[in-house]
Amino acid sequence: MKITQKILQLTFILALCLIWPLSTFAKETPATPFKLGETTEWMGTYYKGKKLGFSFAKMNVTEKAVTVDSKVFFRLKSGGVNQSTTFNQMTYLTPDLRLKEFSLVQEIMGQRQKVDGHIENQKLVYRVVGLGFDKTKSLDFPPHVAPSSTFLLNIVRDGLRVGKKGKFPIFMEAFQMLVDMEYKILRKEPFTYAGEIVETFVIYHQVAGMESTLWVTAGGSVMKEMTSQGFESRKETEAVARDLGGEVMSVSNLITFSLVKPGKDISSPGKKRQMKMQLSKIRSPDLIPEDHRQKVLQSKKSADGTYSSVLLVNSEPKQVARSVARPVSGFAKSEFLEDSAEVQSKHPLIRTLSKELVGGTKDAWKAAQEINLWVYSNLEKELVDSVSALNALRTRKGECQSHTYLFTALARSAGIPTKIVNGLVYSPQFKGFLYHAWPEVYVGEWRALDPTFGQDTVDATHIKLSEGEKDSQLKLMEFVGKVQIELIEN
């Protein structure tokens, strides 16, 4: 049920791949623009003092281009299964730091996805290749957009000074989307590295709800980064950074990273028909989506600038209001019927299985229930991640993301519009709310199911926080490690 592994990956993508050490500039005054230099630097990555992995960056500078070769690696296990994840990226910039092209390879438990992109007439043309998927797309790409892998260059190129702040769009290569990045240089602070004291600038930055603090020298070298979720990166020698030790951290050890305790236990959560609760420490009440199941009853601003919202959540009714036939009309060009690198609804294996499962069933809701039952019954419930529906189908095991990807692919293939939802659900085992994913189908009305739990009518402990595929996961970072829940009516 847990997506701790997915959230951890998001944290690494949003944090570690945003802080590549960039250069070995000459010692200049903080307000003096720098000159790029070649460098190779390493950082070790930790969670609450335990080593998880490392990051590496090598920059090469010529008259025509700036090239950054970067890598992030972290190591986990679940039930003795290796859960190592690697991100390798080559980024090519113009001398004035505009993106020319990039190539990113993501490997998660041996599952591989590659994204290549280049600028063409102020558009980014990119190709995504994964198991059973190969598609080229494009999006508008203004010259002032910075790639996430090298954005720090854009902050330090005019010199660092206390009080300096700004906001500009960055491109998240792993998600293929544009988001705003805000930063502020808070103060100067001495930092001890290799027995020597160096002067650093402390820089706060925020991307898609992910908050991080950097300790950066006047020359642009990152000495340390700390995230609001408790992850830390430190500048190290190559030998120290690569040394991960003999002990491998288990995914289950990270449950506290995403667990939200409501203050008291919820008995029989799977049977809850309605719940009222207060969600606090939220940046904006508008972040909480409202739909047919959940409503924000009231919101108020707290002294610290965050908001508290009273939320009423209902389970789905047992019956649909009316039956509609599949393929459901009116959604011919909808994103809810499209295939993607994660949801390969047009792949022959997915299409064949979908036809076998729904057969001659014309009723869209009944077909969705049949698919839901099959996914629940045929995927082992294990804390292993799948990057796509096809991966889940081939391994026949996974957590909630695997179940949701596979259900979504099969349902879309059957002509049932389906969207992916991310949020929280109550866990009796951990006596708190854990981050979770489930699908919603349009069968004349939107209805939420849960193939991980085998629920055709989700219970009232399912709190929706975002919806969509990659952008939904990004939106979760507004809540992870921050949101608090207090039960009002249990």
Q: Would you call 239 helix, strand, or coil by DSSP?
A: helix
- When pLDDT is averaged across residues 231-253 and rounded to a whole number, the result is 85
260 contacts 278 by C-beta, under 8 angstroms: no
How do beta strands 446-448 and 397-398 pair? unpaired
- Assigned domain for 32 exists: yes
Both 194 and 340 in one domain: the answer is no
Cis preceding linkage at 327, omega within 30: yes
Point out the domain boundary residue: 227, 252, 277: 252
Confidence at residue 241, expressed as pLDDT on a 0 to 100 scale: 94
pLDDT value at position 32?
Answer: 45
Q: Of the candidates 315, 288, 318, 285, which has an alpha carbon nearest to the alpha carbon of residue 299?
A: 285
Q: Per mean pLDDT, which range of 64-68, 75-79, 378-382 is the poorest?
A: 75-79
Residues 240 and 274 in one domain: no
30: exposed, middle or buried (Cβ count in 10 Å: 0-12, 13-18, 19+): middle
Rg over alpha carbons for the chain, rounded to the nearest Å, is 23
Domain-located, residue 162: yes
Chain segment 145-167, per-residue pLDDT in tens: 999 888 888 888 878 999 999 99
- Clarify whether residues 365 and 438 are in a common domain: yes
Residue 207 shares a structural domain with residue 321: no
Query: How many Cβ atoms from other residues are within 10 Å of residue 82's Cβ?
Result: 12
pLDDT of residue 490: 73
Residue 257 lies in a domain: no
For position 9, what pLDDT does the model report? 55
Whether 438 contacts 421, CB under 8 Å: yes
What pLDDT band is residue 218 in, cutting at 50, 70 and 90? confident
**Residue 219: band (very low, low, confident or very high) from pLDDT cuts 50, 70, 90:** confident
d(CA 110, CA 320): 41
**Which pLDDT score, from 0 to 100, does residue 208 have?**
78
The segment with the largest mean pLDDT, out of 29-33, 201-205, 393-397, is 201-205
* Rounded distance between C-alpha atoms, residue 205 and residue 185, angstroms: 9
Q: Does residue 161 sit in the same domain as residue 280?
A: no
Task: Check whether residue 408 and residue 464 sit in a common domain.
Answer: yes
Q: What is the pLDDT of residue 331?
A: 72
- Domain match, 289 and 195 both: no
Dump pLDDT digits (tens) for 296-344.
999 999 999 999 999 999 999 988 988 899 999 887 668 899 999 899 9
Q: Higher model confidence: residue 132 or residue 21?
A: 132
Please give the share of the chain, as a percent, with pLDDT higher than 90: 60
Do 309 and 239 lie in one domain? The reply is: no
Average pLDDT over residues 18-33: 40
Residue 178: is its pLDDT beyond 70? yes
Q: What is the pLDDT of residues 389-440, one digit of tens each?
A: 998 999 898 889 899 999 999 999 999 999 999 999 999 988 999 999 999 9
Q: Are 151 and 181 in contact (CB under 8 A)?
A: yes
Same domain, 209 and 60: yes
CATH number for 446: 3.10.620.30
Domain boundary among 203, 220, 252: 252
Which residues, listed in sequence order, are joined to residue 424 by a DSSP beta bridge? 435, 463
| Residue 59, H or E segment | strand 50-61
Domain boundary among 252, 285, 309: 252
- The pLDDT, as a whole number, for residue 31 is 46
Burial class, 183, CB count within 10 angstroms (exposed 0-12 / middle 13-18 / buried 19+): buried
Provide the whole-model pTM: 0.88
Query: Residue 380 and residue 154: Cα distance in Å, rounded?
Result: 46
Is 281 within 8 Å of 483 (Cβ atoms)? yes
Q: How many domains does the chain have?
A: 2
Tell whether 413 is covered by a domain: yes
**Any domain includes 439:** yes
Q: Which of 116, 123, 117, 17 is nearest to 71 (CA)?
A: 17
Task: Give me the pLDDT at residue 17, please.
Answer: 39
Indicate the residue type of 29. Answer: T
> Where in the sequence is the domain holding 459, given as residue range(s)?
269-489
Same domain, 238 and 341: no
**301 in any annotated domain:** yes
Please report the pLDDT score of residue 13 as a whole number. Answer: 53
Q: What pLDDT is recorded for position 295? A: 97
Residues 168 and 305 in one domain: no
Which residues fall within 8 angstroms of residue 293, CB to CB, at 6 or more apart? 313, 314, 315, 316, 448, 458, 462, 464
Percent of the chain with pLDDT over 70: 89
**Shared domain check, 174 and 27:** yes
**pLDDT score of 7 more than 80:** no
Of residues 23 and 268, more confidently modeled: 268
Give the pLDDT confidence of 427-486 residue by residue, as tens digits.
998 899 999 999 999 999 999 999 999 999 999 999 999 988 767 777 888 888 889 999
What pLDDT score does 22 carry? 43
Note whether residue 25 is domain-resident.
Answer: yes
Alpha helices (H) in 311-441, listed in sequence order: 348-358, 364-378, 389-395, 400-413
**Does 187 reside within a domain?**
yes
The tokens describing 20, both together, are 């590549």
Per-residue DSSP letter, 221: -
